[in-house]
Structure 1
Amino acid sequence: MSGDQAATNLTTAVSKLRALKLKLEEHNEIETLQLQRFRTRLDHLGTASVGNLKEWNDMKLKRILVDYFLHLCDIAFATELAETYNIQDLVDIDVFLEAKEIIDFLHNKEIPPALAWCEENRLRLNKFKSRFEFHLRRQEFIELLRIDNLSLAVDHARIYLAPWGATFREELEHVMGAFAFSGNTECETYKVLFEEKQWDYLVEEFKREFYRLYGITTESLLDIHLQAGLTVLRTLSCYEGNCPNKDPFSQAGFRKLAEQLPFSNHRSSKLICYISKQPMDYDNPPLVLPNGYAYSTMALCRAVGNEGEITCPRTGDVYHLSELVTAQIEL
C-alpha cells in the first residue's frame, strides 16, 4: 500500500486502541469499586458475634429500610438514608439507579433506552428465555398502528417481530391480528393491546427481569421479613372472639396485611415426649420432675421401678413418683 494509505490505517488503529484503552480503564474502575464493596461486606459479615449481636441487627435493619425505599424507586431518600447511616457500601444504590433511569423512560413512553439495555445484556436474558425485548418491539408496533402508520408498521414487523416467530409464535400471531383493528376498537381480544396500562406492564416486566439479572428479590426485604413473621403468627385462633389483646392479629391493621398469607401449619404447638416420641395431650398429660424435665404419663408409668422410683433419662436423677407434678395443657 502507499504511504498515505498506511498512515490512514495506522491513524484508524490508534483511534481504536485509544477507545479500547478508555473502555478498559472504565471497566477497571468499576471492578475496583465492586471489589471494595465486596471486601466491606465480607468484613461486615465477619463482625457478627454474640457480643455485638444487637448492633449487628441494628445495622441489618438499616439495610432493610434502605432496600425498601430502593424498591419503591425513591432513590433520593434511600441515598440520603444510606449516607446518614454510613452504609453506602452495604446497599446497591447504583444498581437501582440504573433501573430507575430506564423505568422513567418507559413511564415517558420512550423505548430505545430499554432496548439498549436488552442489547447490553442479551446473552444473559436469552439464558433466562426473557420475553421483555419482544414485548418492547410489540409495543413499538402497536404505537405505529395507533397512529395508522401501516406501512412503517409492516416494515417494523418484518425486521423486529418476525425473527421472534419461532420462539413466541402464539403471541406473534396474536399481535399480527391487530392490523385489522384500530386503537379505539371494542374487540376485547385486541382492545387490551391498545390500552395505556400496557406501559405499566412493561415497567413491571422490566423490574422482574432486572431483579432476576442482578439476583435481587422482587419484593423488598422488609416485605419478606414482615410476611414471614405474620405467617408464623397467623393461626385460626387469631380470628376467634377470644383473641387476646397481646396478639398482633387482635388489631385490624395486621389482619389486613395478612389477608393473602397462609395460616401457620398448626393451630397450636405439639408437645412430644422425649421417651416415647408420642404427643402429650389431655389423655396423656406431661409429668414434670423436680429437675424441670417433663415426660408423658404413659412413658413414666412404664419406667417406674418397684419402689415407685423414676430415673430421669437425661440427667440420671432418681425421684419418687409422689414428687412428680402434672402439667396443665391449655389450647
Structure 2
Amino acid sequence: MDKGKLNYDGLFNLEQPLLKVPAEQLKKAARISQRYVEYVMKEITTEVNKLSKSANSCSPEQATKSLDDMVVRLQKLKRKLDDTKAEEALYVERTKVRLNHLKELMTITSAESPAYLQWCQTRLDRMLVDYMLRHGYTETAAKLAADKGIEALVDLQLFADSRLVEEALDNKNCTECLKWCNDNRSTLDKISSTLEFNLRLQEYIELARCGKKEEAIKYCRKYMIDWQDTHMKLIQQAMAMLAFGPDTQCEPYKELWDESRWDIIIEMFKSDNHALHNLTLQPLLTMTLQAGLAALKTPSCYSDENRTINCPVCAADTFGQLAQDLPCAHHVNSCIVDRLSGVIMDEHNPPMVLPNGYVYSSESLQALAAENHGMVRCERTGENYNIATARKAFIL
C-alpha cells in the first residue's frame, strides 16, 4: 500500500456526526414548526366553525372581534414561521459548510501534502472545541472556534443548550429537562428512552423528601400512571417508599431516596442527547487518541525497565493512563527503539551490544563516548565500558 495514500473510508466513518447534527437540528426545527402550524390552524378552524354556526345570533361587533382575533393569531403564526425559516436556513448553510469541508479532503491525494496537514489542523481544532464543550468549558471553546474561524463546523449552540439543562438538573430542578423531553418526545420514543419517567419519579421523590406525601400521591396519579404498563414495579416501589424515611437502609427504598439519583439522571440526559443528535458518547478527541495509542501499545510499555522516551504509552502519568484499558497492538514486524534517544535503530543507526548484554544505538553510544573520553555508561546498570568493547548486533 502507498505510504502516503489516504484512507477516506476510515476518515469519513469518524466524521458522520459532523453532518448528522445539523440534519437532526433541521428536522427538529421543521417538526416544531409543523406542530405549531397544526395547533394554530386547529384553533382557527374551530373558531370559524363556531362563528359560522352562530352567524344568525352573533352581532356584527362580536363577529368582527372574532375575526380580528383570528388575524392576530395568524400574524403571530407568520412571525413564528419567519423565525423558524431563518433558523432552518442557518442549519442548511451550516450543512453546506461542513460538506465543503469534507469535500476538500476528497481533492487531497497524499497524506504528505501541505493541504492535508492544513485539513488535519482544522480537524484537530474541531476536536478540541468538541472536547471543551463536552466538559463545560463553553466560553473557551467559543473563543477557540472564533479564533480559528470554525464556528460553522462545531456545535456551540447545541452544547450551550444542553449545558443549561445539565446545570438545572445539578441544582435539582427537572423543569428544563422535562421541557426538552416534550420538544423531542417523538424521537425519544423511537430510542425507547426512559428519561422522562425517571424525571417524573425524581420529582415525586423530592415531594416525598419534603414531607408532602399527599402532593406526591397526587403527582404520581397525574404524571406517572401513564407508564404503568412498562414500569409498574418501580411505581409500586415508589408508593411503598412513603412508609420509609430518607435514612432507611432497606432496599430498594434506600436506592430511591439516594441523592446520587440526580447524577444518574444527568448521565441519562447526556446519553439521550447524544443519541438524539447522533453524537458519539466519548469525545472524538478521546476516541482518536485511543485508536492511535492502541496501535502503539505493547506489554513493554508498562515495564519500568523498557520504557522509551518517545513512546506516548510509556508516559505513565498522561497517555499511559488513557491507554491502560486498551488492548495491546499486534505487530507482525517489530522495530528496536533506542532507550536513550527514542529513535528507531536500523542499518544507518545499528544497534550495539555492551558487554553486560544491554543494547543501545550506535549514535547514542558515540555521543556518550565523545563526552567521556571514549567511555560509555549503561543507563540501566550504571556500569562504565570503553566504546571499543561494544559489539554490533544484527536485526533478523
Query: Which residue number in structure 2 is paired with residue 79 of structure 1?
Result: 142
Query: Which residue number in structure 2 is paired with residue 301 of structure 1?
Result: none
The runs of at least 4 aligned residues of structure 1 exceeding 6 Å deviation read: none
Query: Which residue number in structure 2 is paired with residue 247 of structure 1?
Result: 311
How big is each residue's C-alpha offset from its partner over 1:210-268, in whole Å with a ceiling of 9 and x where there is no partner? 1111111121111111111122222223334434444333321233222222233x2x3
The residue type paired with residue 163 of structure 2 is K
User: Residue 153 of structure 2 is aligned with which of 90, 93, 103?
Assistant: 90
User: Residue 26 of structure 1 is aligned with which of 77, 83, 87?
Assistant: 83
User: Residue 236 of structure 1 is aligned with which of 278, 299, 312?
Assistant: 299
- Tell me, yes or no, if the aligned pair for 1:64 and 1:222 is still in contact at 8 Å: yes
The residue type paired with residue 332 of structure 2 is S
User: Residue 208 of structure 2 is aligned with which of 142, 145, 163?
Assistant: 145
State which drifts further: 178-187 or 109-118: 178-187
Query: Which residue number in structure 2 is paired with residue 261 of structure 1?
Result: 326
Structure 1 Cα separation of the partners of residues 71 and 281 of structure 2 = 45
User: Residue 45 of structure 1 is aligned with which of 102, 109, 132?
Assistant: 102
TM-score by length of 2: 0.65
How many percent of aligned residue pairs carry the same amino acid?
35
User: Residue 194 of structure 1 is aligned with which of 254, 257, 264?
Assistant: 257
Structure 1 Cα separation of the partners of residues 332 and 312 of structure 2 = 18
Structure 2 Cα separation of the partners of residues 27 and 112 of structure 1 = 24
Structure 1 Cα separation of the partners of residues 291 and 238 of structure 2 = 41
Query: Which residue number in structure 1 is paired with residue 338 of structure 2?
Result: none
The residue type paired with residue 121 of structure 2 is D
Aligned-pair Cα RMSD in Å: 1.8
Query: Which residue number in structure 2 is paired with residue 126 of structure 1?
Result: 189
Measure how far apart 1:41 and its partner are.
Answer: 1.2
Query: Which residue number in structure 2 is paired with residue 304 of structure 1?
Result: none
Query: Which residue number in structure 2 is paired with residue 311 of structure 1?
Result: none
Structure 2 Cα separation of the partners of residues 251 and 215 of structure 1 = 33
How big is each residue's C-alpha offset from its partner over 1:57-111, in whole Å with a ceiling of 9 and x where there is no partner? 1111111110110111211111011001111011010111110111111111111
Measure how far apart 1:148 and its partner are.
Answer: 1.4
How big is each residue's C-alpha offset from its partner over 1:249-298, in whole Å with a ceiling of 9 and x where there is no partner? 3321233222222233x2x3169xxxxxxxxxxxxxxxxxxxxxxxxxxx
Structure 1 Cα separation of the partners of residues 306 and 262 of structure 2 = 48
Structure 1 Cα separation of the partners of residues 268 and 291 of structure 2 = 25
Is 2:69 aligned against 1:6?
no
Structure 2: runs of 5+ lacking an equivalent: 1-54, 335-393
Is 2:262 aligned against 1:174?
no
The residue type paired with residue 10 of structure 1 is L
The residue type paired with residue 192 of structure 1 is E
How big is each residue's C-alpha offset from its partner over 1:11-67, in whole Å with a ceiling of 9 and x where there is no partner? 221122122112111110101111111111112222221441111111111111101
Query: Which residue number in structure 2 is paired with residue 16 of structure 1?
Result: 73
The residue type paired with residue 162 of structure 1 is I
Structure 1 Cα separation of the partners of residues 312 and 260 of structure 2 = 37
The residue type paired with residue 136 of structure 2 is C
Structure 1 Cα separation of the partners of residues 310 and 95 of structure 2 = 42
Structure 1: runs of 5+ lacking an equivalent: 272-326
**Comparing both chains, which one has the higher relative contact order based on Cα–Cα distances under 8 Å and sequence gaps of 6 or more?**
2
Query: Which residue number in structure 1 is paired with residue 378 of structure 2?
Result: none
Is 2:274 aligned against 1:211?
yes
- Tell me, yes or no, if the aligned pair for 1:145 and 1:183 is still in contact at 8 Å: no
TM-score by length of 1: 0.77
